[in-house]
Amino acid sequence: MRIGLDPEPVEAARLHAAGDLRIVREAPSRPGPGEVRVHVAAVGLCGSDLHWFEEGSIGEATVGHPLVLGHEFSGRLDDGRLVAADPAIPCGSCPACLAGREHLCERSRFAGHSVTDGGLRSVLWWPEHLLREVPPTLSAEEGALLEPLGVALHAVDLAANRPGESAAVLGCGPIGLLIVQVLRDAGVAPIVVAEPLRHRLAAALEMGGTEAGSPGTPDEVDVVFDAAGTDEAVTTAIDLARPGGRVVLVGIPPGDRTSYRASVARRKELTMQHARRMRAEDLDRAIELAAAGRVDLARLVSHRFQLEEVRKAFGTLEARAGIKVIVTP
């Protein structure tokens, strides 16, 4: 494998401030220890990327330097193999890492977050141990969606569904639709879904969901997944959860604030579980599920853009016109 620097400049999309996204050509970066070169093939735009684009921040992290967004990416190594990336680089030595919970590492670096550049560029270097080979039955676009599938797997694991339990998914964007598919694969039924956008609701119904309020749907369910990140969705989740049930908060709220009526949640004695990213092993599980055809990733892709069209891609994301927006550097 070649380890020299690319002779040609790298094309990248850098966020300078909220709404200020610029296409630049810059010198190739140098590899860090254990890193290999990845020629980026596909990048999925995520709701967290939209927070960065619209607000110039996410949670307590803000744009401190022109940042390359994009943590859902696949690419090819110099030898031609297609790989998917785990976007989180944990420190490996903190209590969370030593306990096997690297996704909770407070010193981790994450692609497209804070000071760590992500995948919206033609070439990058990434730690080899965080790359997974994508089976030939999956495309580069599907490879880019393995990370969000890992997020869905982790969220469902946190819910600890038991046989015979029911579930609901509020918000049927890409993560919500993947949660629906993972629940269906696990034999959970019914899976009640709620989504104001008709095209996303239609996709959720195709994937095994039952529309909230339709005949035969339960008034309360055992586990509710909030994949919307709005106060309205969290309130609905609390109302829909049965007494003693669980609510898994997967969506990222605007402005980093969530509020709800505590009296209802307290009266029902609900468990409110937050979900963060995915665990390292979830990427391997995602590959296995997708390669076996038990989850349909290709169905999620609705829009494709070249890197030069990245502002248009974010406009489509803002308009929520489709489901998953893919950028191909």
**pLDDT digits 0-9 by tens, 37-77:** 999 999 999 988 998 888 877 767 777 789 999 999 999 99
Whether 231 and 126 share a structural domain? no
Under DSSP, the state recorded for 197 is S
Kindly state whether residue 179 falls inside one of the protein's structural domains.
yes
> Reading across the β-sheet that carries 20-26, which strands appear in turn?
20-26, 10-17, 67-68
Whether 65 and 172 share a structural domain? no
88-104 pLDDT, tens digit per residue, is 999 999 999 999 999 99
Whether residue 102 contacts residue 151, with contact meaning beta carbons closer than 8 Å, is answered with: no
Write phi, then psi, for 262 (nearest 5 degrees).
-70, -25
What share of the chain in percent tops pLDDT 90?
Answer: 74
Calpha distance 263→241 (Å, rounded): 14
pLDDT for the residue 327: 97
Whether 73 and 153 share a structural domain? no
Kindly state whether residue 256 falls inside one of the protein's structural domains.
yes
Whether 34 and 113 share a structural domain? yes
Kindly state whether residue 282 falls inside one of the protein's structural domains.
no
pLDDT for the residue 260: 87
Whether 267 and 318 share a structural domain? no
Whether 133 and 222 share a structural domain? no
Calpha distance 133→315 (Å, rounded): 32
User: What's the token pair of residue 240?
Assistant: 């829909």
β-pairing verdict for 67-68 and 210-211: unpaired
- Each residue's pLDDT expressed in tens, for the chain with a length of 329 residues: 444 455 678 999 999 998 899 999 998 888 989 999 999 999 999 988 998 888 877 767 777 789 999 999 999 999 999 999 999 999 999 999 999 999 999 899 999 888 889 999 999 999 999 999 999 999 999 999 999 999 999 999 999 877 788 999 999 999 999 999 999 999 999 999 999 999 999 999 999 999 988 887 888 999 999 999 899 999 999 999 999 999 999 998 877 788 888 999 999 999 999 999 999 899 999 999 999 999 999 999 999 999 999 999 999 999 888 899 999 98
> What's the half-sphere exposure (Cβ side, CA atoms, 13 Å) at 307?
23
Whether 117 and 163 share a structural domain? no
Whether 177 and 268 share a structural domain? yes
Whether 170 and 104 share a structural domain? no
Kindly state whether residue 290 falls inside one of the protein's structural domains.
no
Question: CA geometry: angle at 44 spanning 40 and 319, to 5°?
Answer: 140
Calpha distance 147→74 (Å, rounded): 10
Kindly state whether residue 15 falls inside one of the protein's structural domains.
yes
Kindly state whether residue 5 falls inside one of the protein's structural domains.
no
Whether 75 and 106 share a structural domain? yes
Kindly state whether residue 269 falls inside one of the protein's structural domains.
yes
For 256, the 3-state DSSP assignment is: helix
Kindly state whether residue 166 falls inside one of the protein's structural domains.
yes
Q: Range of 308's domain?
A: 10-145+297-328
pLDDT for the residue 1: 40
Cα–Cα distances in angstroms (integers) from residue 80 to residues 2, 301, 309, in the given order: 12, 24, 26
Whether 67 and 159 share a structural domain? no
Q: What is the CATH number of the domain that holds 102?
A: 3.90.180.10
**CB atoms near residue 254 (< 10 Å):** 15
Q: What is the CATH number of the domain that holds 163?
A: 3.40.50.720
Whether 233 and 160 share a structural domain? yes
Helix ranges restricted to H, the chain: 47-55, 95-98, 140-144, 146-159, 174-185, 198-206, 231-240, 262-268, 280-291, 310-319
